Amino acid sequence: MYQNIKVGFIGLGVMGQSMAEHILKAGYPLYVYNRTKSKSDKLVELGAVWQNTPQEIAQVCDLVLTIVGYPADVEAVYLGENGLFEGARSGQVFIDLTTSRPSLAQELTAKGKAIGVTVLDAPVSGGDLGAKAGRLTAMVGGDASTLDEVRPVLETFSASIQHHGPAGSGQHAKASNQIMIAGTMTGMVETLRYAKANGLDLEKVIATLTGGAAKNWSLANYGPRILKADYSPGFFVKHYIKDLGIALEEAEKAHLDLPGTSLAYDLYRELASEGHENEGTQALIKLWWDQE
């Protein structure tokens, strides 16, 4: 069934462009839309077809993938004027790859179900490099048999695709992921600050710690970037603030107090307020290393 389907892709940021290119190169007819049209140039050159609105995408495609910035953008793309739902028809599948609110994922799934459209939530992790390499991790919520049908398309850019439960579960799994990273990022900056203040060789500390029980991806990957003062975004501070905000909002709904995650959220908002929102999350160290 999913051999010759027309695939739509909405949201051509750094991640989206790489993902769309993988789909195109796998041979699927690809239709694209983005708020800023120029970002589609490269894909159109490679054979993608530009559409003027999400609605038009929905009118021509069988499967539509979306990855935009914020939950408000997801709402606009799906529910807004000229949005996906205005062009939707029974039998279609929409997959939102944006890290967004679980409750919004559930709302879109319910709205789709009412007209015969299956909506899945499938936020991804792995960043710009993972997208480029086609090695993302997709955390999926929603109808499992639909996931099995569209899996070949997701596999063009994913190394791991896990079904985590009903609508919204992909978002909850992604929120869990971001909560874990709050611990590794705050832990990493405190470690580097302590080690530097006590005169240690930071490269040696990173090498030693990543060989034992303190081992983690943040220290191993961002630690060396910090030592080179490389604050370019693998993952934007502003997007991490969005993700942590969603996680804390959902935690509050579940009556969970998450003090470590709250700490990270406060620190990252402070970082953004100092003008670093478009840098990579490793820029957290800048809250201290200008002064210390």
Closest CA to 125 of 176, 74, 186: 176
Which of 115/200 has CB closer to a second copy? 200
Which residues would be at the binding site for a second copy (CB under 8 A)? 102, 125-127, 130, 137, 139, 159-160, 162, 164-165, 169, 172-173, 175-188, 190-191, 193-195, 197-201, 204-205, 207-209, 211-219, 221, 235, 247, 250-251, 254, 256, 258-261, 263, 292
Identify the residue whose tokens are 């909506």: 119
204 catalytic per annotation: no
Supply φ then ψ for residue 275, to 5 degrees. Answer: 95, 15
CA distance linking residue 239 with residue 174, whole number of Å = 13
3-state secondary structure of 90: coil
To the nearest whole angstrom, how small is the minimum distance from the Cβ of residue 192 to a second copy?
Answer: 8
Which of 41/274 has CB closer to a second copy? 274
Signed CA dihedral, 277, 281, 284, 286: sign only: negative
Contact 20, 40 (CB under 8 A): no
**DSSP code at position 6:** -
Given 174, 238, 242, 286, the catalytic residue: 174
Q: What's the one-letter identity of residue 120?
A: L
CA distance linking residue 158 with residue 74, whole number of Å = 21
Which of 92/281 has CB closer to a second copy? 281
Contact 235, 280 (CB under 8 A): yes
For the annotated catalytic residues, the residue numbers are 174
